[in-house]
Chain A
Amino acid sequence: SQTIHQWPATLVQPVGSPLSLECTVEGTSNPNLYWYRQAAGRGLQLLFYSVGIGQISSEVPQNLSASRPQDRQFILSSKKLLLSDSGFYLCAWSPGPNGDYNYGYTFGSGTRLTVV
């Protein structure tokens, strides 16, 4: 069965510090991978998605970047955090281009980031 791992669960970082959040998927190959952010009491905001190694699409221009160095690894980064980067960061996967769009997404457990 497929599993998705996301860490760390919580993170408190000072303004101006760097960020690296990691997400890995097991039990599948060539998944589509997604990074979402959810501000307190708000909906899901798609930040980045990837359909393959090195292929990153950015949905919202901002202080963040994403990379996919391996097939089942997706990393969210920032060089200098802003207060507005605080939120609940969620990684998700779905079957890749040859998979089933009807499958939906499976989310990781999330990282709660507080920038102070």
Chain B
Amino acid sequence: QKEVEQNSGPLSVPEGAIASLNCTYSDRGSQSFFWYRQYSGKSPELIMSIYSNGDKEDGRFTAQLNKASQYVSLLIRDSQPSDSATYLCAVNGGTDKLIFGTGTRLQVFP
């Protein structure tokens, strides 16, 4: 059974701090990795994708991938209250189905 694990949180960080969200996956053959943001009552929105080991930066977001450790993370710099949401990690093992984690709830307080 392919699995994606995330700490459910909540992860509470003060405004302006770096929020670090982590995800591990079980399928060593996984090829692509995604982070979705889901505001309460809304549908998930794709915010980052990463395919190669290392870091990928997009604005305040940085995705980090370590395939040897089967670990993917999302860093949010200068966290804002508007970043408060649930962040879902998703992994593709080369099929037409993504495997989603259950999400980490992030709270950014002023």
How many chain B residues sit at the interface, stated as a range, is 20 to 34
Does B100 sit within 8 A of A, measured CB to CB?
yes
Main secondary structure, interface of B, reads loop
Q: Which residue of A lies closest to B49 (CB)?
A: A104
How many chain A residues sit at the interface, stated as a range, is 20 to 34
Task: Find out whether the CB atom of B97 lies under 8 angstroms from the CB atom of A107.
Answer: no
Contact count A vs B, C-beta below 8 Å: 51
* Given known contacts A101-B31, A102-B49, A104-B34, A90 and B101 CB-to-CB distance under 8 angstroms: no
Residues of B within 8 A of A110 (CB): 42-43
Give B contacts to A, CB under 8 Å.
31-32, 34, 41-46, 49, 51, 88, 90, 92, 94-98, 100-103
Can you offer 25 A-B residue contacts whose CB atoms are under 8 A? A43-B88, A43-B100, A44-B88, A46-B97, A49-B96, A49-B97, A51-B96, A90-B44, A94-B98, A101-B32, A101-B92, A102-B32, A102-B51, A102-B92, A104-B34, A104-B46, A104-B49, A104-B92, A104-B98, A105-B90, A105-B98, A107-B44, A107-B45, A109-B43, A110-B43
